[in-house]
Structure 1
């Protein structure tokens, strides 16, 4: 017999607190793992029935089988709204107004809270980063920017002193240098260790960027604790420390996770949003847009990012809510003005020059290079993660982060452009040569050295980011990618500028003005940054909008579009997946990408499904209340297909475990109901009802009952047609005495679950799951239950097809020597707001 599955939860949540709460239950490599019985076939003791899909540790424990069915969630929402519309009088008007205003209250509060927290994180990150180099003389709690506010860039800021200047005067050169170097290294390692310790001890879900997990969550899965207040607190504390440590990471991606945690916390008081999986995720999509809005100062880009990159389903109402949430967050950030600049754009670019035709070639080269670099970086990061797991480094995650911080600090201190905080470096790379040049980027007499240092910085940043992204610390990929691309782009721009100066008389540069001001290296830096980030994330429209909002350089939107397009085509030619999809596959998350293109006309649904003789089904009539209770007590399955009789197998519908428990609970509250009372899932005709006796009415709570039947309170209208009449059935065999009272559980069942023929091509099945957001389909043969196919079955099949080739998986088969139905994890399903199936 299979091992027992986990019991289902009583209420749907996105991040229930009852889940895994620490790494002590994880694998040897430091990551929590799914229980083996969840991944294995119920008949896993039979080698012929085992899946060939390898198990892999995952950092976020996907709650056992939790997933939502979008169609059912929206059906429940329509039912709830119909009940509100039926409320008469002034009370109904007030109820409708309040119900309509709730999502707007949530998105506005989420946007405001996101803006406030992002401002605090920006201020804290800037202060801690500057603390590695020195401190403000009279106000040590101020960053260098605030300490020297009001001074011209050319002026010397006497209020700011480095650690070397604090411990010695100009005569003690060696002492000052050693002090400066030692404090820099010590604080870098200390910040990294504290951040990693916070994550590993208090909130393991606060590590990494969080965007892959958000994609999975918005795809319908549930992750226990991923959006908890504890995660929000630890990520908000650990993120500034991680940025200040000097590790090659960014805070932009993690801010999306922080914003989603805020949105989840804000909507908790509103039951209609909290308990409906679809509406809950709509709010989280809006919160993700706010996260990008405050990370880059790009509200429009945030909305498009949520639409293009994050959300699986994005209805029109979500677009408007995301826009409002992103705008409110951006306005709040602008009002607080953490950088004391008075501007929302972080990296201002002045690009008023007219571009020439010959510049198309270097721009296209940057696009191609960005796509190649992105694909190579993804592969490098993926291989390093596999090495991290295989070598056991994950057993000491804090120690690993400390070593990374020490190595990064040593390398960064030796290269001047790496010693600068990444955000400040990007600001200078995006600047033209008309203003102050604090790092010598405009020194035309030393172009070769500058180009070498920029390429060296890009190469070192690539390697450091590849080994840092995935460590047990909050880390984003946006800013490191922008930095690498900006360095490479600026280097190409400097080379082009030097070539144009050397061969100014050539016909190629005939359109250039006589003063030689033809090439703007800062524009090349922006295009290089866009190409690199596009090659890593495979973002398109949202990336272009984010960058022109980030830089304010609307004049180079056309160049950005070309570079991003070429980078996308080049990266997709090498590998189809971006960095986030790669990490989803590394973690073996149950994610069905709605953008994935599945092509295989030789595999049918019956090749992938779990056959009916491995399912536990419920007969449509004749089961006593005690037998149903014994079914629930004896099996922890998430739901049950309902057939007309155990002999003919005609499909009547489906009932989730939670709905069946709720129905039995309602029945037990009726005094006339006993353990021997028979329960029916089909509405009898008049003659059959007389032979059975009186029906015992059960109070129906429409909010908890099945949506398909609860819409119709007349049970006669919900009767299924075409079945044999009641008087033609063998009621003696069913154990129903003439005149015995009975109860109907039709209102709690789903009478019209999605069902397909078992011979449906898998291409069609995949499209239905992708477009309708299904969790399962019943497969039939001339109306008789043939099997069941779940979202997880589909995910396993597509992963097997991707890894091993089509048809390489060993699918479960029926056991010919067993007559009794065998349980399967694909029967562990719930409809509506409850658990779907056990993930294998």
Structure 2
């Protein structure tokens, strides 16, 4: 399928732009899908092969397949996602554990599997079981930590570099599309702009599944949740491509991809309902949501999480990462603290996204030639800083488990209990300041590391690092509240870490209901549902007041992807002042209602080349008239497919006549009816229609092209990419760049880096 409308649509030749701006630079990598015509006349994406034995040789299998193909496909996608999630969890934990020690009876085992045979006599419902289990495992010599002062640091440092080196090399030379998060590309695809096939193919899935655990284990300030959405969507694409050959259409593909993406979040967080909501709130576009998508998302998340439960990668029978049992109800007097946490979440979302985008610009301008070296430098810097802070050195999931944990009276008598639970009013001020400064340092440093790490050439997410930042900040606030306001035992300090994580997750994603549900499923802390909603609401209000989108939406604009869904903010006000006449393309290539086959072939293959994606069809007799009546529209990919497969009635194509409108009868056998692939009622608009109305039409109807008419006569046409280009170009002219970069600061930083390079060379 081609990229363009019925005439060359390069932005350089368009009448409303003179240069390619960053906001539209990658439009050519995406192919526009006409969702409206696909619903009226679905086009099969992949030809039938390889699975024909199910539908041809055996009638019994054919009947079963016809009745259960949807459930078989959904179940296959879900099981594959669950199995990959289990592998990633076990592999990641193994790599992380190798940085601290090894299993005496089999060095390939991680700590969970190595200590799995210890008698389970303790309460599994709390984090204390895992800690006591670990200590008993150490006492019995099953697990051996690296001893001394130099060896632990050497293993931590060297393994971090090895892991990231393998990860970035795999991405660089095997599957470049496996880099980053992938959520922005998936959102764009589901909204109606198909990305390159390599983005969801098998090599990308394999590399993403292997490189992701290596990246997480290296200790870089990135998470697995965003990449989990990507590999899960790859599973949906690959399975449906094989099982539904000959049946899969774009409309059904969007539903499967959305369901798979939600399942990726479900298995990453152990939150099936949250995963379903993520797919619907973040991934699905406004013109794609329906009841079928909802139940598909629900079913895939259910089976995927159930599969993960059966695999039992944590070796404790749970899928909840941070199971807590907060026994103290929250108090009304704590609401100001909840508001403070929400404000921090809003500040975090605005600050981190702003500076991350600035660093992305710096990376593209100065570091694009050294992606592997950049990752290695980030790893060295992160390892050196993190090793000497207990909250940075630990795996982020383990660190949040400690921060979320509720301190009880029994904990204080436990010699192995974390020192966070040993602080009280009698604790010396020096000890208090050490813990508080450690939490504050971890908050600030991880925030800076997230800014420079997210977007490097590795599989990288931002959800869990953001939650870890909110958790350390929330726990630091709880220390101040206990020390100077209410005293120990009155509040639940772990709940503040939990709420801080919810605030920062909202701040970076701009999601609301999804975050609330994910946090409750992660912890089971339903007693704090109202505080969670308060924190999320405050964060979202701050983001909306400052016109801050989620990081995925911001990256769509920064990377120059086409995307129709838009927020109603100041950047859209100018659209009402412009009309279709300013945007439409008038230099069109049209087809006649009736024409010779040879003439059509010459026009399609030799004249238009690859510069068009569709042709308006004008009424016979109007081709030489100044005013032409449009009686239909035909997509080029459908026309080419039909012409390629068409067997001519005679050997002379010059005598064969092609009809684009339905005829009651034909005068001879040398005629071809193409009315079946012609859009006889294309979307039309008047020449004075506002640009805002056109945008909403594209957004809600999902059409690819709008025919512009005046008094019933054809004037021009506008594609969905045209309207997006127009909006972004005009917004840049009126308001300047949506995201401004400090070029002077970037130049100073680069000159300083060059100086350091020469100094150490």
Pick the TM interval, shorter chain.
0.7 to 0.9
Q: Which of 650, 656, 669 is the equivalent residue of 2:648?
A: 669
What CA distance in whole angstroms lies between the structure 2 residues aligned with 1:625 and 1:418? Answer: 69
- Structure 2 counterpart of 1:103: 70
How many Å apart are 1:137 and its aligned residue? Answer: 1.8
- Structure 1 counterpart of 2:228: 255
Q: Which of 409, 412, 419 is the equivalent residue of 2:383?
A: 409
Alignment pair present for 1:499 and 2:516: no
What CA distance in whole angstroms lies between the structure 2 residues aligned with 1:273 and 1:567? Answer: 47
8 A Cα contact 2:267 2:305, kept in partner = yes
How many Å apart are 1:106 and its aligned residue? Answer: 1.1
Q: Which of 101, 105, 109 is the equivalent residue of 1:138?
A: 105
Q: Mapping of 1:418-437 within 5 angstroms? A: 418-434=392-408, 435=411
Q: Which of 49, 71, 87 is the equivalent residue of 1:120?
A: 87
8 A Cα contact 2:16 2:582, kept in partner = no
Moved more, 130-139 or 263-272: 263-272
Q: Which of 781, 793, 796 is the equivalent residue of 2:722?
A: 793
Alignment pair present for 1:324 and 2:309: no
- Structure 2 counterpart of 1:564: 536
What CA distance in whole angstroms lies between the structure 2 residues aligned with 1:200 and 1:604? Answer: 45
How many Å apart are 1:748 and its aligned residue? Answer: 3.0
Q: Which of 713, 727, 731 is the equivalent residue of 1:784?
A: 713
Q: Which of 763, 774, 785 is the equivalent residue of 2:703?
A: 774
Q: Mapping of 1:432-511 within 5 angstroms? A: 432-434=406-408, 435=411, 438-444=417-423, 445=427, 446-501=431-486
- Structure 2 counterpart of 1:268: 241
How many Å apart are 1:206 and its aligned residue? Answer: 0.6
Specify whether residues 42 and 477 from structure 1 end up closer, same or farther in structure 2 by C-alpha distance, changes over 3 A only: closer
What CA distance in whole angstroms lies between the structure 2 residues aligned with 1:775 and 1:267? Answer: 24
8 A Cα contact 1:199 1:205, kept in partner = yes
- Structure 2 counterpart of 1:297: 270
Specify whether residues 251 and 42 from structure 1 end up closer, same or farther in structure 2 by C-alpha distance, changes over 3 A only: closer
Q: Which of 114, 117, 127 is the equivalent residue of 1:147?
A: 114
How many Å apart are 1:103 and its aligned residue? Answer: 1.9
How many Å apart are 1:77 and its aligned residue? Answer: 4.6
Q: Mapping of 1:689-768 within 5 angstroms? A: 695-697=667-669, 742-768=671-697
Larger radius of gyration between Structure 1 and Structure 2 = 1
What CA distance in whole angstroms lies between the structure 1 residues aligned with 2:113 and 2:676? Answer: 65
Q: Mapping of 1:199-598 within 5 angstroms? A: 199-224=171-196, 225-271=198-244, 275-312=248-285, 313-391=288-366, 393-434=367-408, 435=411, 438-444=417-423, 445=427, 446-501=431-486, 517-593=489-565, 595-596=567-568, 598=572
8 A Cα contact 2:705 2:719, kept in partner = yes
| Structure 2 residues not aligned, in runs of 5+ | 46-57, 120-128, 739-761
- Structure 2 counterpart of 1:659: 638
- Structure 1 counterpart of 2:125: none
CA RMSD of aligned residues (A): 2.8
What CA distance in whole angstroms lies between the structure 2 residues aligned with 1:399 and 1:438? Answer: 40
Q: Mapping of 1:563-642 within 5 angstroms? A: 563-593=535-565, 595-596=567-568, 598-599=572-573, 600-611=575-586, 614-621=587-594, 623-634=595-606, 635-636=608-609, 637-642=612-617
Specify whether residues 379 and 299 from structure 1 end up closer, same or farther in structure 2 by C-alpha distance, changes over 3 A only: same
How many Å apart are 1:486 and its aligned residue? Answer: 0.4
What CA distance in whole angstroms lies between the structure 1 residues aligned with 2:21 and 2:253? Answer: 32
Alignment pair present for 1:679 and 2:664: no
Secondary structure, aligned partner of 2:455: coil
What CA distance in whole angstroms lies between the structure 1 residues aligned with 2:568 and 2:199? Answer: 25
Secondary structure, aligned partner of 2:715: strand
How many Å apart are 1:383 and its aligned residue? Answer: 0.5
Q: Mapping of 1:184-199 within 5 angstroms? A: 184-199=156-171
Secondary structure, aligned partner of 2:68: helix
Moved more, 349-358 or 541-550: 349-358
Secondary structure, aligned partner of 1:372: helix
How many Å apart are 1:743 and its aligned residue? Answer: 4.5
Secondary structure, aligned partner of 1:441: helix
How many Å apart are 1:681 and its aligned residue? Answer: 3.0
How many Å apart are 1:676 and its aligned residue? Answer: 3.3
What CA distance in whole angstroms lies between the structure 2 residues aligned with 1:273 and 1:462? Answer: 48
8 A Cα contact 1:40 1:51, kept in partner = no
| Structure 1 residues not aligned, in runs of 5+ | 1-6, 10-33, 81-90, 166-175, 503-515, 698-740, 810-840
How many Å apart are 1:756 and its aligned residue? Answer: 1.0
8 A Cα contact 1:208 1:472, kept in partner = yes
What CA distance in whole angstroms lies between the structure 1 residues aligned with 2:178 and 2:247? Answer: 22
Return the structure number with greater helix share: 2
